A and B are shown apart, each in its own frame.
Chain A
Amino acid sequence: MRRKSIILSLLAILMTASLVLTSACTQGTKGTGEQILRVNLAGEPAQIDPNQASWAAEKSVITQVFVGLLGFNQDLSLRADVATVIPTIANEGISADGLTYTFTLRTNVTWSDDKKVTASDFVYSIKRELNPDLACAYASFYFDIVGAEAYFSATDKTDAEKTALENAVGVSAPDDETLQIKLNDPLPTFLDLMALWPVYPLREDIITQYGDSWTDPPNYIGDGPYLLTEWVHLDHMTFKPNPNYWGTKPNLAEIDFKMIADANAALAAYYNGELDISGVPVGTEKATMTNAVLSPEILRYNDLTTFAFQFNVTKPPFDNKLVRQALSCAVDRQTLIDIRGGVGKVALSWIPPGMPGYDATLGAEYAFNVTKAKELLDQAGYSDVSQLPEIKFSYSDTAGNRTIAQFLQAQMQQNLGINITLDPQESKSFQQYINAGKHMWAWFGWGADYPDPDNWLPQLFGTGAGNNHTLYSNPTFDALAAVALKELDNTTRLQDWADAQKLVMDDAPIVTMFYRERFLLVKPWVKGLKTTGMDGQVAGDMFYNEVYIAK
């Protein structure tokens, strides 16, 4: 009797709780009309020093407080911000040999404490980015500047030697409104690099005075539309409009960045009216779409990120191109996207849509086609798949990756009769495993640092390149890349990259799976949100000065 009644009570309680959960999805509240935007940064930014930052959350913070020489429009084309114009060879901003860049600064740009932004603020920032003692993650992006690599590599040198090397870096300010940068080699994407956060202007006097605590408000002086007024670590950040902002004044009176790490908790906070924009937990997308209240609040947009399975082409059977092509044909990408709630776009080639280099016609030959997969395996000499060596698939163990790995395992089994072993690993272990080239087959993704093929091909597929984890090596590709990296003519350059990408897709060191799509909920009163394929942690973070709250 007692046991039965306990079980019944237990059931009753759990059932009630479950009903509550389902009915919870029908909540809706009205906005307050106050000009406050509350979004989820998910975690504490590791770093908000522009020189040292490298993660999406950090970028979202820095973008509010700083403005660089150049910036990106919503279509990811370049825009002149602190600079008066985008330098070109025609306007003599770039020398004819492509080695000297001259930026002319606007005269009305001010810091949040009303001081004037000068070219020396940029010189200081760029040299600080390259300071070996600071060890900035993105420093290597700027190694094409004269003397940059020598200075950054001077970790073992004396202070005097470091100062000499610092002075030799090819960045100078002939006057307050002119910034000059000299390069070792022509670099067609250098302007993209100058639009990134590591070279936003910085205040030498502030950093010298406050040391590492210069990023704490109110020391965190910027030249952007907002000011960081409060930072409660691991809890939230508050931004208020910068009263001395030189550009168009923002509409919002306040932005709150909350740090809710758990995806379910973030969604609950959205329901409870504590967040205006939130992601939904992976796997919840379909239910959100069928929910009458939530479906109108869904915001979806493409992101410059591609996900793929990468082979280690030095390990049999993946040293055989035909096997790689066969496995590419054996994966039904559309079904994976269906499993993921229809979020994402089938990827048949590497460079994603929305940026130069995307080729919609590429990769169709190795799309899902089981018959062709079997033919290719036959040609490779594996008509009997039991002859294949044991295949191990490694991935960083997250809920989303677990689904993908099990899907791949089932696809291999169902379509080709190949049994693969799954090898889930904790994230850092996985990354070291991959970096050491110990894997056979692994899951990975790549997001754009800047929207150019230059950021998508040589680093990943060049022989011996830093992020080449497929260990792919093709002399033709290397030759094309060497030319394209320095080619100043944009049409020729993009054609070279198109040829290079085609080579890679034919050699199939990777099985491209899908382009990432962001799936968010936005309260109806949030207006003026402009998203791009290169947003940071929070959606639309590059244009928060245009956002407003409707009454």
Chain B
Amino acid sequence: MTRYVIRRILWLLLVLLVVSFITFSLMHLVPGGPWDREKQLAPQVVEALNRKYGLDKPFFVQYGNFLIGLLHGDLGISYSFQNRSVTQILMQGLPITATLGITAFIAAILIGISLGMAAALKQNSWIDYVSVMFSTIFASIPGFVLAILLMVVFSVLLHWLPTGGWGSVSQIIMPAFALGALPAAFIARITRASTLEVMRQDYVRTARSKGLLERVVLIRHILRNSLIPVVTIAGPEFANLVTGSVIVETIFSIPGIGRLFVQGIFARDYGLIMGSVLFYAFVIAIANMVVDILYGVIDPRIVYN
């Protein structure tokens, strides 16, 4: 197990390196550079800017410089927030995006699994219908529409919550909900489907016929086994959720990494793009690693060697 984890971490570093190189290449392939504007800058200014940010150097030298900086924890200077280092900018957004993402994720997992499980255990009851309705509705509304609906109801009409910003508990409720609704719906459906499937398995029947307590059957056999597909989906969903905060952060004016990332792309802020992509890649890789390790924990039949 330990060897497996170490090997996975080494792989992770390699994955990050490949991701960084592909992003770096694609970034330079996409038409339009950081200094292209509607009101064009004077050629002397463009030349000086390229010089200032090292963009006058050949491609591989630029990539090399990026890697050297990365080893020192330095992602360079942002072009769109010109006086600040990318590392500093990302560090400021990180706790915000993480708090939002984890809150939404925990809510989505709790709501999703309990709704899905309840629906499956009481198939064709009102609980089942409510659960299916919930997951259908929230999986059917685009995130930005849901966000503005929440804002209109809870801020404009009821005056219960502020429309955006960051810093208080009241400011996290709507964005976390807007962010977590789709994964919660998805998790509820996956849980329902897999629980129904597990309940039909022979070992559940066997366990029941052995006269085991219903609670034991439920926890040891049904819950555990029906969570395998949920775990598979939870890792990517967590990553989706963190990266999905891009739109939600923009609408609710939350100063997180998602909003920086969007701005970075539009501004061709290479340092900011590289920094945020690597951050996302890291979160995703870790999430996947945790999922694979959790497989082994939940499903003892899977052995890593």
Task: Report Cα–Cα, A5/B133, bound state, in Å.
Answer: 9
Q: Which of A171-179, A264-272, A342-350 contacts B (4 or more CB under 8 A)?
A: A264-272
- A259-B157 in contact (CB<8A): no
Interface string of B140-160 (1 = CB under 8 A from A): 100000001101110111010
Verify if B137 is at the interface (C-beta below 8 Å from A). Answer: yes
CB distance from B64 to the nearest CB of A (A): 21
- B163-A140 in contact (CB<8A): no
From A6, A140, A433, contact of B45 by CB (8 A) = A140
Interface string of A121-160 (1 = CB under 8 A from B): 0000000000011111101100100000100110110000
- B253-A259 in contact (CB<8A): yes
Residues of A contacting B83 in the complex (Cβ-Cβ under 8 angstroms): 47, 49, 212-213, 215
A47-B164 contact in complex given A10-B137, A233-B255, A268-B155, C-beta closer than 8 Å: no
Task: Report Cα–Cα, A392/B47, bound state, in Å.
Answer: 32
Q: Which of B28-36, B65-73, B195-203, B228-236 contacts A (4 or more CB under 8 A)?
A: B28-36
Verify if A261 is at the interface (C-beta below 8 Å from B). Answer: yes
Verify if B260 is at the interface (C-beta below 8 Å from A). Answer: yes
Residues of B contacting A447 in the complex (Cβ-Cβ under 8 angstroms): 39
Verify if A435 is at the interface (C-beta below 8 Å from B). Answer: yes
- A466-B164 in contact (CB<8A): no
Task: Report Cα–Cα, A541/B260, bound state, in Å.
Answer: 26
Residue on A nearest B247 in the bound complex, by CB: A262
- B163-A269 in contact (CB<8A): yes
Residues facing B in A154-188 (CB within 8 A) are 155-156
Residue on A nearest B32 in the bound complex, by CB: A428
Task: Report Cα–Cα, A428/B81, bound state, in Å.
Answer: 17
- B148-A264 in contact (CB<8A): yes
Size of interface on A: residues with Cβ below 8 Å to B: 68
Residue on B nearest A23 in the bound complex, by CB: B157
- A2-B82 in contact (CB<8A): no
Residues of A contacting B163 in the complex (Cβ-Cβ under 8 angstroms): 260, 265, 268-269, 272, 274
Task: Report Cα–Cα, A307/B254, bound state, in Å.
Answer: 33
Verify if B38 is at the interface (C-beta below 8 Å from A). Answer: yes
- B155-A435 in contact (CB<8A): no
Residues of B contacting A399 in the complex (Cβ-Cβ under 8 angstroms): none
- A135-B51 in contact (CB<8A): yes
Residues of A contacting B256 in the complex (Cβ-Cβ under 8 angstroms): 234
- B251-A272 in contact (CB<8A): no
- A429-B31 in contact (CB<8A): yes
Task: Report Cα–Cα, A132/B42, bound state, in Å.
Answer: 13
- A137-B45 in contact (CB<8A): yes
Task: Report Cα–Cα, A44/B140, bound state, in Å.
Answer: 33
Verify if A204 is at the interface (C-beta below 8 Å from B). Answer: no
Residues of A contacting B263 in the complex (Cβ-Cβ under 8 angstroms): 43-44
Verify if A333 is at the interface (C-beta below 8 Å from B). Answer: no
Task: Report Cα–Cα, A235/B44, bound state, in Å.
Answer: 34
Task: Report Cα–Cα, A133/B51, bound state, in Å.
Answer: 8
- B37-A24 in contact (CB<8A): no
Interface, chain B (partner A; CB < 8 A) = 30-34, 36-45, 47-49, 51-52, 80-84, 89, 92-93, 129, 132-133, 136-137, 140, 148-149, 151-153, 155-157, 159, 162-167, 250-256, 259-260, 263, 266-268
* Interchain Cβ contacts under 8 Å between A and B, 8 examples: A152-B45, A259-B255, A260-B163, A262-B253, A274-B163, A428-B34, A431-B32, A467-B40
